[in-house]
Amino acid sequence: MSSRIILIGPPGAGKGTQAARLSEALGVPAISTGDIFRANVKGETELGKLAKRYMDAGEYVPDEVTNSMVADRLAQDDAAEGFLLDGYPRTSAQVDELDRILAAEDKAIEHVVELTADTDEVVARLLARAQTEGRSDDSEDVIRHRLDVYEEQTQPLTDIYRSRGLLRQVDGLGEVEDITERILSTIR
């Protein structure tokens, strides 16, 4: 079974956790642009140096940079039969690029799963993650800014996918296992 799925939702909604579990359940790779950027920051690559400035400020990395990175990743063999995108697309220019990449291969997104969670809950989760993971973009100011950027630039994308009939909203609050089941039952 092929699955081409986008996971969308505010920072702290649990996209990364669910992406890993869904990847296992569906047998397709979870592709997280945030993870790819963090690996590049850690490896001190040119891409990492460029991305770090934006990430630390809670801003989006420029579209051209992000788009070409995703185009390369989706061209790899393991993504041929499906993938789960975690954290991409986040802007309308990224939606356009993804459309272009898929159309060129006669492929299409099947589901866009929006994980919903209220702001107080996601701020609390991100502050807790700051304690355990020490991510440099998890300070309270940067967290609030990331949520604003999400609301302005990414939340509107749900309307695009709703109008295409692809949007499935799933409550991101509750037990991790239950949320995975909710997602699997909406996409099956």
List active site positions. 15, 90, 129, 135, 146
User: At its nearest, how many Å lie between ligand AMP and the CB of residue 14?
Assistant: 11
- Report cis status (omega within 30 of 0) of the bond before 156: no
User: 89 a known binding residue?
Assistant: yes
User: 53 a known binding residue?
Assistant: no
List, in order, residues 6 or more apart from 162 with CB less than 8 Å away: none
What DSSP character marks residue 60? P
Q: Which residue is nearest to ligand AMP (CB)?
A: 34
Q: Which residue has the tokens 């309308």?
A: 92
Footprint of ligand AMP (CB under 6 A) = 11, 33-34, 37, 54-55, 58-61, 66, 87-88, 90, 94, 137, 146
User: 17 a known binding residue?
Assistant: yes
User: At its nearest, how many Å lie between ligand AMP and the CB of residue 1?
Assistant: 26
* DSSP letters spanning 163-175: HTT-EEEEE--S-
User: At its nearest, how many Å lie between ligand AMP and the CB of residue 163?
Assistant: 21
Question: Is residue 164 classed exposed, middle or buried when 0-12, 13-18 and 19+ CB atoms within 10 A define those classes?
Answer: exposed
User: At its nearest, how many Å lie between ligand AMP and the CB of residue 32?
Assistant: 6
> How far from each other are the two terminal CA atoms of the chain, in whole angstroms?
11
- Our CB check for ligand AMP shows the closer of 36 and 167 to be 36
Of the candidates 120, 167, 173, which has an alpha carbon nearest to the alpha carbon of residue 7?
167
User: 134 a known binding residue?
Assistant: no
Give CA separation, 130 vs 16, 68, 83, 86, in Å.
15, 29, 28, 20
- Our CB check for ligand AMP shows the closer of 106 and 141 to be 141
Residue ranges of the annotated binding site for AMP are 33, 38, 59-61, 87-90, 94, 135, 146
Residue ranges of the annotated binding site are 12-17, 33, 38, 59-61, 87-90, 94, 129, 135, 146, 174
